[in-house]
Homo-oligomer: A and B are copies of this chain.
């Protein structure tokens, strides 16, 4: 991986936020100016580093600029359950704006870069420019749709279909975010983490993976996911991208 692949300048954060918001609602010039007038700072994160933890009360919201960020619950026995993963352009904890105490943690999965926007400024932005609020609102609704799909995936699908569905979703979203490289994308998770996302043991992940490999549907090694047969994989997974609500 080249040194700063995908890593964005400070100025880039606003352009990214703008284009993301524009995907979710029509914005006029005043809306865009208002977005650009916010203050933010950027931050680099080491692999595994926590950004906010369950129980905290953050005063800033995160925008992912590069790398992958994950959200997870920590159970009483210390077990970790990943809830979702986020790529460039996602705002994984915007809900902390009004839901003051975090019910989950947010961490960098691999090396990542984020921008931080103060809650106060986002709040004023929404009050002054309702269409911007609606655009952001829509983003969080897509998020909720992704959570719903995760419930179904982890509760009602076989291990193989479950893993396949996870891969389909990640690839599809990476494509939307412009992060595809031919037929491959980055997915910097190990099999243990995959298990903590899908509600299965690491060994079961390994065996499900072998199934998919044997059928020549995907390849997945050292953080790289390659789609060998998209039609076959989506059919096996029962993947229907409607829930991702791409405009």
Binding site for B on A (CB under 8 A): 24-25, 55, 71, 73, 75-76, 79, 81, 83, 95, 98-101, 103-104, 126-127, 130-131, 133-134, 137-138, 140-145, 147-152, 154-157, 198-199, 238, 242-243, 245
| Distance of A148 Cα from B134 Cα, bound (Å) | 22
| Distance of A106 Cα from B133 Cα, bound (Å) | 26
B133 near A73 with CB under 8 A, answer no
B138 near A98 with CB under 8 A, answer yes
A242 near B103 with CB under 8 A, answer yes
B141 near A98 with CB under 8 A, answer yes
| Distance of A145 Cα from B101 Cα, bound (Å) | 11
Please tell me which one of the listed residues B76, B95, B104, B131 contacts residue A238 in the complex, with CB atoms under 8 A apart.
Answer: B76
B130 near A83 with CB under 8 A, answer no
B242 near A154 with CB under 8 A, answer no
Which 3 interchain pairs have the tightest Cβ spacing? A155-B199, A103-B243, A147-B147
- Give every chain B residue within 8 A of A144 (Cβ-Cβ): 95, 140, 143-144, 147
| Distance of A130 Cα from B136 Cα, bound (Å) | 13
- Give every chain B residue within 8 A of A151 (Cβ-Cβ): 81, 83, 147, 150-151, 154
- 27 residue pairs of the A-B complex, CB under 8 angstroms, read A24-B98, A25-B98, A55-B242, A75-B157, A76-B238, A79-B156, A81-B152, A95-B144, A98-B134, A99-B142, A101-B242, A101-B245, A103-B145, A103-B149, A103-B245, A126-B130, A126-B134, A130-B130, A130-B133, A133-B137, A137-B137, A137-B140, A143-B144, A147-B151, A155-B155, A155-B198, A156-B199
Please tell me which one of the listed residues B75, B127, B242 contacts residue A152 in the complex, with CB atoms under 8 A apart.
Answer: B75
- Give every chain B residue within 8 A of A55 (Cβ-Cβ): 242
A75 near B156 with CB under 8 A, answer yes
- Give every chain B residue within 8 A of A127 (Cβ-Cβ): 130-131
B130 near A81 with CB under 8 A, answer no
| Distance of A142 Cα from B144 Cα, bound (Å) | 10
- Nearest CB of B to A121, in Å: 15
CB nearest to A71 among chain B residues: B148
- Give every chain B residue within 8 A of A243 (Cβ-Cβ): 103
- Give every chain B residue within 8 A of A101 (Cβ-Cβ): 242, 245
B99 near A148 with CB under 8 A, answer no
A137 near B98 with CB under 8 A, answer yes
